[in-house]
Chains A and B, each alone.
Chain A
Amino acid sequence: MVDQDRVRPAVVEVGDGAAIPSKSDIGLFTAWRIAFVGAIGILVVLTITKPDPYLNILKFVPDGILVTFQVTVGAILLALVIGLVAGLGRISSNRIINGIASLYVEIIRGIPLLVQLFYIYYALGRFVHVPDMASAIIAMAVCYGAYMGEVIRAGIQSIPKGQMEAARSLGMTKGQAMRHVILPQAAKVVLPPIGNEFIALLKDSSLVSILAVADILRRGREFASESFTYFETYTVIALVYLIITLFLSKLIGIMEERISAGS
């Protein structure tokens, strides 16, 4: 399933994240602007013209936004660490390390995230007592670590072989060459796909609502189940997610431009 030997081109792995606009892509840019301004506009108009229920829903959601961010940021940081280990493991010449890393990637990519969440939270919860928030973050990180590992592996493999050879011929050890020559270059390559993963993880974090973690979606469901305002509530929830992801994709786009301008 995974083509581990193929060297990928510099732009790797198109994730599930929102499209990242760049200055050269004027069509995308306006689409982004229409969506972003439109979403905020609709939300503002709704809350002003119909404060009940829209304003009430909007007041109910914010602590859910905080929880969603906590889960997303916590999970992405942990996933980066796991991904770096898994990615380096996958290009390792040591057969055992390589095997373990490959097995991890294959297993995790073969099980739906929702099932993994249930498994880590409820099934393993029987034996290991981890607080709910930490459990949700770990579950998300274990899953995204596998995808992150693939991004990092592809990023490293996109650096020409000559770089390693040159560094080695200067007398560096393999580890030194990796740390000082290969990884800094690879970091630049993997940043855009990691940005995509970040946004994808934020969206997927809505799944933790099944673990009774009070994120944006869970807050919305709580509101809807008491007030029976299903249409209104899920409209607000969708708009809130949309505004957040659009904002982040723009931010990542700007960051990316800065980095490529700097090189």
Chain B
Amino acid sequence: MNLVRRTLMVLTLAAVCLTAAVPRQAEAAGRTVTVATDATWPPMEMVDANKKIVGFDIDFMNAIAKEAGFAVQFKNTAWDGIFAGLGAGRYDAIISSVTITEERKKQYDFSDPYINIGQILVVPKTEKATNLSGLKGKKVGAQIGTTGAFEIKKVQGVELKNYDEIGLAFEDMAAGRIVGVVCDEPTAAHYALQKAEYKNKFKIVGKSFTAESYGIVVKKGDKELLALINKGIKAVKAKKVDEQLRKKWLR
């Protein structure tokens, strides 16, 4: 009996030591970071014909991971609940064209900015308005909870229509139910200038009218991961990998 008990104790101790040692080792060897992305925002993040998640953000995140020495696993998540999922611990970080805003900073932590973009207006070719306030009394679409939607809301007299995905907003504009869409400039360019079925129908109005920066989002207080990501961003920028990616995805 005594012998059994002693062996058990030794075994338990060994197990405790092992489990305690494993995380530390994994940390050193490079952990796997699960990153959520809403892959409906081309060319930043989208699903290609092979059902793979691709885009500027994806390449950028992979480059960061390589520099900082961790593995990345992407998780395609609807934008509507992407912040809630981070709060609930379903993933460690978000890279999904997330603009750094004061409101969001109150709830979540952001990495250093990695690219600057702005909001821009897309309208049908026949539309004469030169900016958002020229569309008073009409419906303008955006993806729900995006900075584009917040910008439309600021303009008195313009009715905001919130879509689950930006692609649905463009489709609704093609169907004539709305007269404008506001979204990030690269995405606007993708839909208005490159997509064959929209090229003849839509045009971009003027220049982007906001100055925003994208950041990678982590849970409030996750300093360790944030430091790791920032280290990666610095290295990527120093090696000018971001400029290569810009050339590859954005024109």
Contact = CB atoms under 8 A, between A and B. Distances in A.
Nearest to A223: B145
A129 interface: yes
A126 B175 contact: yes
Contacts of A129: 175-177
A7 B144 CA distance: 49
Nearest to A225: B145
A128 to B, nearest CB: 9
Interface stretch (B11-19, B63-71, B113-121, B159-167): B159-167
A196 B164 CA distance: 30
A213 to B, nearest CB: 9
B175 A212 contact: no
B103 A212 contact: no
A222 interface: yes
Given A212-B163, A221-B80, A230-B84, A131 B171 contact: no
Contacts of A214: 161-162
Contacts of A5: none
Nearest to A128: B175
B210 interface: no
A: contact size bracket: 10 to 19
Contact of B171 (A122, A224, A228, A230): A122
B174 interface: yes
B215 interface: no
A125 B175 contact: yes
B43 interface: no
A230 B81 CA distance: 9
Interface string B164-201: 10001101101111000000000000000000000000
A187 interface: no
B83 interface: yes
A22 to B, nearest CB: 40
Interface string A214-234: 100010011011101010000
Contacts of B163: 212
B239 to A, nearest CB: 35
A225 B80 contact: yes
A106 interface: no
B162 A212 contact: yes
Q: Chain A at the B interface: mostly helix, strand, loop or mixed?
A: helix
Interface string A64-78: 000000000000000
Interface string B82-116: 01100100000000000000011001000000000
A132 B162 CA distance: 13
Contacts of A225: 80, 83, 144-145
Given A125-B171, A212-B163, A228 B83 contact: yes
A195 to B, nearest CB: 32
Nearest to B167: A122
A226 B171 contact: no
Interface string A116-134: 0000001001100101100
A254 B174 CA distance: 47
B174 A126 contact: yes
A210 interface: yes
Interface string A126-155: 100101100000000000000000000000
Contacts of A125: 171-172, 175, 177
Interface in A194-222: 210, 212, 214, 218, 221-222
B141 A212 contact: yes
A222 B162 contact: yes
B209 interface: no
Contacts of A131: 177
Q: Which 4 A-B pairs have the closest CB atoms?
A: A225-B145, A125-B175, A230-B84, A129-B176
Given A212-B164, A214-B162, 9 more contacts: A122-B171, A125-B177, A212-B163, A212-B172, A218-B162, A226-B150, A228-B107, A230-B81, A230-B87
15 contacts: A122-B171, A122-B172, A125-B175, A126-B174, A132-B172, A212-B141, A212-B169, A221-B144, A221-B145, A222-B144, A222-B145, A222-B162, A224-B84, A230-B81, A230-B84
